[in-house]
């Protein structure tokens, strides 16, 4: 490949997303599950910034142009959400570890019937 | 400034990110996973720079690699990892998980193979000097309300984290 297009970034984002999904579905350690969620959010962020770059090269009558930075704005909001999610998730993890002395996600079955 | 050797750096950082991601989901020690995730996040910040998004790259380094990952490392140190390292690392549904992820990957491949024609090859070269200014104009102009809601969300997250981690309320 001689030059890098938007599709390259999308494929990289999809691969990272898949890695995150595999981590969420297969790991037992809650901390690593939360880190896999961060991987998923980062894959989405990469897609958003790549599309922002793509739209900056589009003509202005379609909504593009150098001011079309909406993808970057949205990725900043996603980073904010990731911070909030990590803080609350790790707080829940600490509360859970205090009660049951484990970090394994398949032993978290208090609400399961 | 025109980009230099874009394919080389793209594949380099993409390889770093993918290796980091694989290490995150395969390491037994959670500290190693966190360090691999930091490497992947820094490589992603470099990719943001290649996409002419320097402000998002800075936010990524300061907030993700600097803030969130320190939080993760603190919590890993708080909970005991010695016991969980001796145990089984993958849960009993891992076969189903891999199958579901493979199906999702097939879906991605199908969509991208079908839709690859709508992405033109033309690469835009934009001067990135005033990127931060433009982002700020949008953030404090058109997205003012969403910005305020985000601050409210962070407040709720602070209260939630304190309430969850507190021993006795």
Q: Is the pLDDT of residue B6 over 90?
A: no
Question: Quick one: pLDDT at residue B128?
Answer: 64
> How far is B132 from B55, CA to CA, in rounded Å?
6
Nearest to B160 among A67, A91, A102 (CB): A91
Q: Is A34's Cβ below 8 Å from some Cβ in B?
A: yes
CA distance A32 to B33: 7
User: What tens digit of pLDDT does each residue of B21-71 get?
Assistant: 999 999 888 899 999 999 999 999 999 988 888 999 999 999 988 899 999
The whole-chain average pLDDT of chain B stands at: 86
For the whole prediction, is pTM greater than 0.95? no
pLDDT exceeds 70 at position B90? yes
Length of chain A: 113
Inter-chain touch A19–B24, beta carbons under 8 Å: yes
Contacts of A86 in chain B (CB under 8 A): 68, 71-72
Chain B residue whose CA is closest to A25: B97
Q: Answer yes or no: are the C-beta atoms of A3 and B121 closer than 8 Å.
A: yes
Distance of alpha carbon B11 from alpha carbon B20, whole angstroms: 14
Cβ atoms of B161 and A88 closer than 8 Å: yes
Q: Which neighbouring-strand residues pair with B78?
A: none
Distance CA A45, CA A74 (A): 8
| Contacting residues of A for B41, CB less than 8 Å apart | 42
Q: Is the Cβ of A42 closer than 8 Å to some Cβ of chain B?
A: yes
Chain mean pLDDT for chain A: 87
Evaluate if residue B155 carries a pLDDT over 90: yes
Residue A57: pLDDT over 80: no
With pLDDT > 90 as the criterion, what percentage of chain B qualifies?
Answer: 49
Q: Tens of pLDDT along A89-112?
A: 999 888 888 888 888 888 878 787
Distance of CA B73 to CAs A1, A31, B34, B76, Å? 39, 10, 7, 5
- Predicted pLDDT of residue B2: 59
Q: What is the pLDDT of residues B129-151, one digit of tens each?
A: 788 888 899 899 999 999 999 99
- In chain A, whose CA is at the least distance from the CA of B98? A22
């Amino acid at each position: 490949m001689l030059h890098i297009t938007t599709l390259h970034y999308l494929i990289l984002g999809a691969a990272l997303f898949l890695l995150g999904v595999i981590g969420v579905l297969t790991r037992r350690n809650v901390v690593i599950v939360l880190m896999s969620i961060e991987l998923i959010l980062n894959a989405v962020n990469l897609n958003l910034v790549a599309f922002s770059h793509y739209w900056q090269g589009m003509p202005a009558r379609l909504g593009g142009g150098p001011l079309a930075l909406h993808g970057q704005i949205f990725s900043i909001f996603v980073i904010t959400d990731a911070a909030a999610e990590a803080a609350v998730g790790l707080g829940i993890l600490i509360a859970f570890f205090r009660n049951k002395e484990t970090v394994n996600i398949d032993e978290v079955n208090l609400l399961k019937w | 400034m025109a980009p230099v050797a874009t394919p080389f750096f793209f594949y380099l950082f993409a390889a770093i990110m993918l290796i980091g991601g694989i290490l995150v989901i395969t390491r037994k020690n959670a500290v190693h996973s966190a360090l691999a995730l930091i490497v992947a996040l820094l490589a992603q910040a470099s990719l943001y720079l290649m996409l002419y998004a320097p402000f998002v790259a800075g936010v990524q380094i300061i907030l993700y690699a600097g803030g969130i990952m320190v939080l993760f490392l603190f919590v890993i140190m708080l909970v005991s990892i010695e016991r969980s390292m001796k145990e089984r690392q993958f849960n009993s549904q891992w076969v189903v998980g891999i199958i579901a992820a493979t199906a999702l990957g097939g879906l991605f491949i199908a969509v991208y193979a079908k839709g690859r024609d709508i992405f033109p090859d033309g690469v835009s070269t934009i001067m990135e000097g005033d990127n931060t200014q433009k982002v700020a104009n949008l953030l404090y102009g058109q997205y003012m309300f969403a910005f305020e809601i985000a601050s409210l969300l962070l407040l709720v997250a602070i209260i939630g984290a304190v309430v969850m981690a507190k021993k006795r309320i």
